[in-house]
Amino acid sequence: MLIYLEQEAKEYPLTKEILSRFSDADVVETWHYKNVFDKKIGYPTEKCLILAKSDRLKLFSVPENYGYPDCKAFFFVTQLNCVFDCAYCYLKGAFKNDFPVIFVNYSDIQLELRTKILELRHGWYKGKIVLYASNYSDLVGMESLSWFHQSFIPFFEQFDNVLMETRTKSGNIQSLLDLDIIPQNTEIAFSLNPQAIIESYEHWSSSLKSRISAIKTLQAKWWKVGLRFLPLLPVPGYVEIYEQFLRELCQEIDINNVNSIFLATLIYNKQDWITIQKKESDLPAGRQGFKLLKDLEVGEDGLVRVSAADREVFDWLFRKYFGDRVVRDYV
Ligand code: SF4
């Protein structure tokens, strides 16, 4: 294991915990994590990690039509990159390399979150506030490294009408269960796709069976569980593939007991789409790229998506099973 350690991150408790856990790791100090993170790296990064201090605002407003309707909603960032390797992941376009980064100063990030929530409440906003935690990493997948949920689930319990959504493709929920609470303000949102698509495009993530088992366990323990069907991929024969997947899923899961259901197909901003394709063209011989990328359409709004016809088919199919409970995410 190779750990790049930003100088300002050295004294934080999480840094010390991680370093003591990987006591045989090679540790390289760096003045700022971007000295490493912003470089194009030519060697494998699976066994590398960056520990850094978040030194500027890490809370962003979500785009229009994203996620829960009728609320004030923000992304917040505690980690960058991911232990999984989904072929379609937009992070490949957003960042120069795939080093996982953990911002270890959780207390500062929580102070920022608290300040934002109180600012809204003091401005007399009494409605729902949603904080999306997992748009730059799969935090359940990273939990054994970062203990994110151990810290942030209890943190959010102190507020009224606030919800943290954490999205995952991991079925490993033991650390959540170890918390031994029933959180009211956290939703664990499982990203689901048919097993054939998981095998082809969601490398190193948990199997569908494992994700379903995790959903059932959390539901039985009264956790808030969401289903995220995203990104839906219009692979050849997709209508039959997704129809069978939905039929089986509805037999397995108590859908009435699901907190929310969101749906989205592939969507990129144009620059990320171009960058990902460029990276794909640099793949070593023998490694296949993500073929669906080139079939996407550039919309008038500058966003790149699957065709409107395929989006309508997906919408029709999912409404057949879930009716009006489906929220079309960021259409
Ligand atoms: S799980 Fe999410 S963040 Fe991780 S590689 Fe897949 S799409 Fe990207």
pTM: predicted TM-score of the whole model, two decimal places: 0.94
90 Cα nearest atom in ligand 1: 8
83 Cα nearest atom in ligand 1: 4
**Cα–chain-centroid distance for residue 250?**
24
Ligand 1 within 6 A of CB of 59: no
Ligand 1 within 6 A of CB of 9: no
Provide the residue ranges of all domains of the chain, joining segments of one domain with +.
54-232
What string of pLDDT tens digits covers the 331 residues of the chain? 999 999 999 999 999 999 999 999 999 999 999 999 998 776 666 789 999 999 876 789 998 888 999 999 999 999 999 999 999 998 988 888 889 999 999 999 999 999 999 999 999 899 999 999 999 999 999 999 999 999 999 999 999 999 999 999 999 999 999 999 999 999 999 999 999 999 999 999 999 999 999 999 999 999 999 999 999 999 999 999 999 999 999 999 999 999 999 999 999 999 989 888 887 776 655 556 688 888 899 998 889 999 999 999 999 999 999 998 888 876 6
Calculate how far, in angstroms, residue 119's C-alpha sits from the geometric centre of ligand 1: 32
Give, in words, the CATH class of 54-232: alpha beta
Q: Which residues have CB under 8 Å from 135's CB, separation 6+?
A: 75, 77, 167
- Range 69-74 contact pairs with CB under 8 angstroms and sequence separation of 24 or more: 69/327, 70/127, 70/128, 71/127, 71/128, 71/129, 71/130, 72/120, 72/125, 72/127, 72/128, 72/129, 72/130, 73/129, 73/130, 73/131, 73/132, 74/116, 74/129, 74/130, 74/131, 74/132
User: Do the bridges between strand 2-6 and strand 48-52 make them parallel or antiparallel, or are there none, so unpaired?
Assistant: parallel
- Of 215, 105, 106, 205, nearest to 152 by C-alpha is 106
